[in-house]
Amino acid sequence: MQLKAGNAEDAHATFSQDLVYWPENGYALQGLHDALLAQGRKTEAEEVNARIAQAWSLRMPPAQ
């Protein structure tokens, strides 16, 4: 909701705090990625993107 309302900085803080409680949570990482992009912080967003891939690879069952 914060991103949709144009509050990228607040969204960044919220998702960062979520990651304190739920480390490497795919949803929180995606939100952090999107918040960073909205702030024009592309390099940091790309770093988070690698973490997103790792987070989901650990939680998704293998394709059959």
Q: Which tens digits make up the pLDDT trace of 1-31?
A: 899 999 999 999 999 999 999 999 999 999 9
Would 63 be classed as within a structural domain?
no
Task: Tell whether 3 is covered by a domain.
Answer: no
Name which residue leads in pLDDT, 28 or 62.
28
By residue range, what is the domain housing residue 36?
8-58
Q: Is residue 53 part of a domain?
A: yes
Do 51 and 24 meet the contact criterion of CB atoms below 8 Å apart? yes
Sort 12 into a burial class: Cβ within 10 Å, 0-12 / 13-18 / 19+: buried
Q: 45 pLDDT exceeds 90?
A: yes
Report how many domains make up the chain.
Answer: 1
User: 31-40, 42-51, 52-61: lowest mean pLDDT where?
Assistant: 52-61
CB-based burial of residue 33 (10 Å sphere; 0-12 exposed, 13-18 middle, 19+ buried)? Answer: buried
Answer whether residue 51 is part of any domain: yes
Is 30 among the domain residues?
A: yes
Q: Which DSSP letter does residue 60 get?
A: S
Residue 62 has pLDDT above 90, yes or no: no
